[in-house]
Amino acid sequence: MGGDVPAARARPRRRAHRARRVRAPARPQACDEEDTMTSELSPRLRRVVDALPLEPGMRVLEIGGAPGAAAREVAARVGPQGHVLVLDRSDTGIRRARANCREEIDAGRLSTMCASVEDFELEPGTPLFDLAFACRVGALDGRHPQLYAPALANIRSALVPDGRLYVDTGSPLTAIQLD
């Protein structure tokens, strides 16, 4: 009696299963609460920061750096003579980064810019950066291939001649050839 599953009930169950499988690939692109809304450094971002060849006094550009968790850690590692610029196209993200990094901003060790990496240029007179990095930014990780060339050109212009760019497409980072 209890073992028979009527056909009319079995079909919706299969549909629900298929729908879950179709939605799954979109997940890694989303800004999830734990990683992106908090100012705490997640284990993922710590691995990224640990892999960057940071030195005291470096100037570092973080692309898509809202809400500032990695940038704060980088600012601590490059020290008082260094600087971090958080570039992000989201107004809300930049507001959060400014709130989360208030101390570093007030000390002149971190600044923010609200712009897309494929459109930005540094304010005239801004010293160039030694290193740039990006985590989960579609313009640089292959999700938006049409944005890759303009983004790379802008990053190259913001870096010193031997400046380096790292993107989180490796384990954890890939060094991108800029020549």
Is the CB of 11 or the CB of 47 nearer to ligand SAM?
47
Is the CB of 57 or the CB of 91 nearer to ligand SAM?
91
Is the CB of 9 or the CB of 25 nearer to ligand SAM?
25
> What is the enclosing helix (H) or strand (E) of 103?
helix 102-106
CB of 152 to ligand SAM, least distance (A): 12
CB of 55 to ligand SAM, least distance (A): 22
Residues that bind ligand SAM (CB under 6 A): 31, 35-36, 45, 63-66, 87-90, 93, 116-118, 135-139
Q: Which residue has the tokens 């000390």?
A: 107
Distance (Å, rounded) from C-alpha 88 to C-alpha 140?
A: 13
CB of 108 to ligand SAM, least distance (A): 23
CB of 145 to ligand SAM, least distance (A): 12
Distance (Å, rounded) from C-alpha 21 to C-alpha 23?
A: 6
Q: In what order do the strands lie in the sheet with 159-167?
A: 110-114, 83-88, 59-63, 129-134, 159-167, 174-176
